[in-house]
Chain A
Amino acid sequence: QKEVEQNSGPLSVPEGAIASLNCTYSDRGSQSFFWYRQYSGKSPELIMSIYSNGDKEDGRFTAQLNKASQYVSLLIRDSQPSDSATYLCAVLHTGGFKTIFGAGTRLFVKA
């Protein structure tokens, strides 16, 4: 079992729809959870951090965390073609120094 698992996609949504990206993790002691966006040929960019159970909203992005189910999700509302990228889920390992990444989900937003 991988430590951080994501559906590789591609996930295709029409412009204006809600895109839902999901991630599960195995380390129950993990404390910090992140979503990064990576455009093709570019480096990952941090878009959301979440540390406690529940929802965290930032503009069109909402991160959701359920530690009991070891599940993290990212919702993108009013999806735009510019949101087309690979989204990486990342979990800070117990101990606080090593972050483990999922393989990423490719998102396509169709105009």
Chain B
Amino acid sequence: NAGVTQTPKFQVLKTGQSMTLQCAQDMNHNSMYWYRQDPGMGLRLIYYSASEGTTDKGEVPNGYNVSRLNKREFSLRLESAAPSQTSVYFCASKSSGLEGYTFGSGTRLTVV
């Protein structure tokens, strides 16, 4: 039982490059989320998908796009990476409204 799987675990990008962070869950959860975590600022919501076929912006969506490919998979794309996007990115999922999250192991991204 893998839970929430994120790839890659580490990535270094040059300014202006693009990349996609992948997330997949095998718990049949309806909702999926992308957060970034920066020192002293906690976890901030980038985008979320309340159910398959829907996506919505969170607190810090600028510079990112998402795709809910199917119920299992939710990807995050950086079209033109900037140093300000250097962060640790976490994917999370939950089954229904009032529950807590299961997190993936994270992607540590550095943009130089």
Known: A44-B43, A44-B103, A88-B43. A97 touches B98 (CB 8 A): no
Let me know if A31 is at the binding interface, CB within 8 A: yes
Q: Are B42 and A103 in contact (CB under 8 A)?
A: yes
Let me know if A11 is at the binding interface, CB within 8 A: no
Q: Are B105 and A46 in contact (CB under 8 A)?
A: no
A42 — which chain B residues lie within 8 A by C-beta? 105-106
Q: Are A96 and B98 in contact (CB under 8 A)?
A: yes
A103–B102 Cα distance when bound, in Å, is 18
Let me know if B74 is at the binding interface, CB within 8 A: no
Q: Can you name the residue of chain B whose Cβ is closest to the Cβ of A48? A: B100
Chain A 77-110: CB-based contact to B (< 8 A → 1; otherwise 0): 0000000000010101000111111111000000
A100–B60 Cα distance when bound, in Å, is 12
Q: How large is the interface on A (under 10, 10 to 19, 20 to 34, 35 or more residues)?
A: 20 to 34
A104 — which chain B residues lie within 8 A by C-beta? 42
Contact of A98 among B42, B45, B98 (CB under 8 A): B45
Let me know if A8 is at the binding interface, CB within 8 A: yes
Let me know if B2 is at the binding interface, CB within 8 A: no
Most chain A CB inside 10 Å of its own CB: which residue of B44, B99, B104: B99
A36–B50 Cα distance when bound, in Å, is 21
Let me know if A34 is at the binding interface, CB within 8 A: yes
A99 — which chain B residues lie within 8 A by C-beta? 33, 45, 100-101
